[in-house]
């Protein structure tokens, strides 16, 4: 009995000791909680709906570029159209990018030769059958009346040749010249002008996306401004395309939120030119290699058929994959519900390559999800039906024929016939890649393929319009080094001219490839310092550093991708010191803009004063928010935490 009482006593003492210990621990935890900093989500992770919470760090304009304004008017004595030397008519081959760039060069050449320009023929869908007869070649995409009226002070433009010259053209009595890419002005003065004066009309064939060199001598800067007037004022899409483009922009902003436009740049020709076949798998690799083999035969590519795609990507010659772009945007702080518009009528690899990006950003939309089939079909106009390419069914044999074949067969017993080959279903044959399942030689484009090539002009026009109006633009592939115009570079140049301070990323793919390779084995759990390095690079690409890089890399190949300083002016104060940056050969990379005229400065000041008076308190950024805008134009690497090796940093928690 005494032993049981002792056990009870020990048990009670133990329980009491545990209770006291628990109370002491709770008191200590409560006492020390005052020094713990509670986690609070930043603006990178929470996006408030409405205009007044558009944080500058993600959506705002670039302050260092706000003084740059579009101004492409003539600055010097500019001759009006006088006596003409003759007529120039042209055929332009290629896609949307080639057509837009070639038209701008063609107008400058016509002005240089003092010739009357006949509205060029766009030959993207050559001999395509059944395209709507409602629109002619040029008017299929652009507004002819706007094109003629906007350039009436620069040169004479007519819709067609006079009747007598048209008959002579049909008899091939006028010389036709195939123009090589980036031809110098001296070529036209010495070679073309004498033939033009002699025959009164000549034809030009433009195939590579441009017929005049990008950087002209300083005394020809007025011709550069003429290119800007053509690209950004005269070349307006036809009213139906503009109306639907405006409607798409309204739908993207219907919730009061901004949107980001992304162009992957995954075109088959570009991938084949740079040898990026190994970035894809299965049939897509074979398709890229087949096209590269064709380019080698035509002397477009001077290199081996097999090339290390990983090495090409490290050099910055291959596009950023959509998955990589999604990781970069997340590193920048764009939340998962960001609205992203996917531009580009051609998407090599199909929807499969977009799966990782859709997992990162659920609000990924394109023209097909924003517009109904009826709205899109109205842009195409009435089209005649094409013959069906469905395979003809095997004719059925009658019972009598089957009995006759059975009686004529050989001796019995006979072995069973081999099973029939697996049939190719129609969905396997549709599209430009279906031939690879049946043949080793790519067939000639069918009537449907040619019609789709023509439709692609309109789809690219819509995407171009929406991308230029976007709050943010991110290119997956631009300035690729091939010399061909590309969609993203044209959008970047248009945004730079229209509003230089708009948030347009100009990433260096070589730098980003190095950063992505450093976390290749751990893409979705990068180290914190890696995120800071990505932010530093992309923020620098938004401002002056990005413009300097574009002036060195893009402008020598395409003036429209970087129309500075010829087509802009600076609306800064006279007391402000203008930063002038020159290249190794003395060329101006940044800062050579003239001062804007007084009427423009007064108008800008009036707009700024009105916007300042109407600013709401909610437009202000909280004081405790980190403003990365002050970092984006520095790029001097003075921040010590950005210079640490990535391996020495700790892993960041993706849920933080």
Structure tokens at 13: 């003492």
Query: 77, exposed or middle or buried, with CB in 10 Å at 0-12, 13-18, 19+?
Result: exposed
124 band by pLDDT with thresholds 50, 70 and 90: low
Of the pLDDT bands very low, low, confident and very high (cuts 50, 70, 90), residue 591 is: confident
- The encoded tokens of residue 521 equal 């084995």
Confidence of residue 251 (pLDDT cuts 50, 70, 90): very high
Q: What is the average per-residue pLDDT within 334-347?
A: 91
User: Residue 282: left if φ>0, alpha if ψ -120 to 50, beta else—which one?
Assistant: left
Q: Mean per-residue pLDDT for 93-119?
A: 94
Q: What is the mean pLDDT of residues 313-327?
A: 93
Cβ-proximal residues to 302 (8 Å cutoff; 6+ apart), any chain: 296
Maximum average pLDDT range among 41-45, 228-232, 426-430, 441-445: 228-232
Domain ranges, ordered by start, for the chain: 50-79+478-508+537-607, 87-236
**Model confidence over 78-94: pLDDT tens digits?**
778 888 999 999 999 98
Q: What dihedral angle (degrees, nearest 10) is formed by the CA atoms of 5, 8, 13, 17?
A: 170
Give the list of residues 6+ apart from residue 188 with CB closer than 8 angstroms, or none: 109, 112, 113, 212
3-state secondary structure 13-80: HHHHHHHHHHHHHHHHHHHHHHHCCCCCCCCCCCCCCCHHHCCCCCCCCCHHHCCEEECCCCCCCCCC
Indicate whether 654 pLDDT > 50: no
Burial 546-573 (b: 16+ CB within 10 A, else e): bbbbbbebbbbbbbbbbbbbbbbbbbbe
SS3 346: coil
| pLDDT at position 638 | 37
Mean pLDDT for the stretch of residues 151-159: 94
pTM for this predicted structure: 0.81
Among positive and negative, which fits the CA dihedral 29, 30, 35, 36? positive
**Helices 487-498 and 96-112: crossing angle, nearest 10°?**
60
Instruction: Find out whether 188 and 112 touch, Cβ atoms under 8 Å.
Output: yes
Q: What is the mean pLDDT of residues 59-81?
A: 88
**468-479 average pLDDT score:** 94
pLDDT of 412 > 90? The answer is: no
For the cut 60, the answer to whether the pLDDT of residue 230 exceeds it is yes
Alpha carbon distance 293, 303 (integer Å): 10
Average pLDDT, the chain: 81
Order of strands across the sheet that contains 259-263: 364-365, 339-342, 259-263, 472-475, 503-504
pLDDT of 105 reads: 95
Q: 12: which strand partners?
A: none
């Amino acid at each position: 009995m005494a032993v049981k009482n002792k056990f009870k006593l020990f048990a009670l003492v133990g329980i009491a000791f545990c209770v006291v210990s628990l109370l002491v621990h709770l008191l200590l935890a409560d006492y020390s909680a005052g020094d713990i900093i509670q986690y609070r989500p930043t603006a990178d992770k929470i996006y408030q709906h409405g205009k007044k919470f558009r944080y500058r760090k993600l959506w705002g304009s670039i302050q260092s570029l706000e003084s740059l304004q579009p101004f492409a008017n003539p600055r010097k004595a500019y001759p009006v159209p006088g006596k003409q030397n003759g007529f120039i008519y042209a055929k332009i081959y290629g896609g949307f990018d080639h057509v837009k760039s070639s038209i701008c060069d063609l107008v400058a050449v016509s002005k240089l030769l003092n010739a009357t320009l006949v509205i060029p023929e766009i030959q993207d869908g050559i001999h395509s059958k059944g395209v709507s007869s409602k629109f002619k070649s040029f008017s299929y995409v652009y507004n002819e009346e706007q094109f003629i009226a906007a350039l009436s002070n620069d040169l004479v433009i007519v819709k067609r040749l006079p009747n007598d010259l048209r008959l002579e053209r049909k008899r091939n009595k006028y010389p036709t010249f195939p123009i090589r890419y980036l031809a110098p002005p001296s070529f036209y003065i010495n070679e073309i002008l004498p033939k033009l004066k002699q025959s009164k009309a000549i034809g030009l064939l433009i195939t590579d996306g441009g017929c005049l060199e990008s950087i002209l001598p300083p005394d020809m800067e007025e011709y550069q401004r003429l290119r800007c007037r053509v690209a950004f004022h005269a070349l307006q899409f036809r009213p139906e395309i503009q109306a639907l483009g405006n409607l798409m922009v309204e739908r993207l902003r219907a919730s009061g939120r901004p949107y980001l436009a992304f162009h992957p740049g995954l075109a088959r020709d570009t991938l084949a030119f740079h040898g990026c076949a190994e970035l894809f798998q299965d049939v897509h690799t074979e398709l890229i290699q087949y096209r590269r083999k064709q380019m080698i035969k035509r002397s477009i590519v001077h290199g081996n058929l097999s090339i290390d795609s990983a090495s090409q990507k490290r050099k910055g010659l291959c596009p950023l994959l959509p998955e990589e772009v999604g990781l970069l945007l997340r590193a920048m702080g764009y939340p998962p519900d960001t609205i992203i518009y996917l531009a580009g009528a051609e998407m090599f690899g199909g929807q499969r390559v977009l799966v990782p990006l859709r997992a990162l950003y659920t609000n990924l939309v394109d023209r097909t999800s924003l517009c109904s089939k009826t709205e899109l079909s109205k842009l195409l106009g009435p089209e005649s039906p094409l013959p069906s390419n469905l395979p003809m069914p095997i004719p059925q044999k009658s019972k009598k024929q089957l009995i006759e074949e059975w009686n004529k067969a050989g001796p019995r017993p006979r072995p069973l016939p081999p099973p029939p080959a697996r049939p190719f279903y129609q969905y396997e044959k549709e599209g430009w890649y279906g031939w690879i399942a049946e043949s080793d030689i790519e067939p000639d484009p069918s009537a449907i393929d040619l019609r789709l090539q023509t439709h692609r002009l309109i789809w690219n026009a819509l995407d171009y319009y929406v991308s230029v109006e976007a709050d943010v633009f991110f290119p997956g592939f631009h300035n690729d080094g091939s010399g061909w115009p590309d969609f993203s570079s044209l959008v970047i140049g248009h945004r730079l001219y229209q509003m230089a301070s708009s948030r347009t990323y100009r990433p260096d793919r070589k730098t980003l490839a190095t950063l992505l390779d450093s976390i290749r084995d751990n893409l979705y759990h990068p180290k914190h310092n890696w995120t800071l390095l990505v932010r530093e690079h992309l923020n620098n690409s938004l401002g002056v550093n990005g413009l300097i890089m574009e002036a060195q890399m893009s402008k020598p190949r395409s003036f429209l991708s970087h129309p500075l300083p010829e087509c802009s002016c600076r609306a800064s104060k006279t007391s402000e010191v203008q930063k002038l940056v020159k290249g190794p050969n003395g060329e101006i990379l940044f800062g050579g803009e003239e001062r804007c005229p007084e009427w423009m400065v007064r108008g800008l000041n009036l707009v700024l004063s009105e916007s300042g008076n109407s600013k709401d308190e909610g437009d202000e950024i909280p004081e405790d928010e980190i403003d990365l805008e002050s970092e984006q134009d520095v790029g001097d690497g003075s921040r010590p935490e950005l210079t640490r090796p990535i391996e020495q940093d700790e892993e960041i928690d993706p849920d933080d």
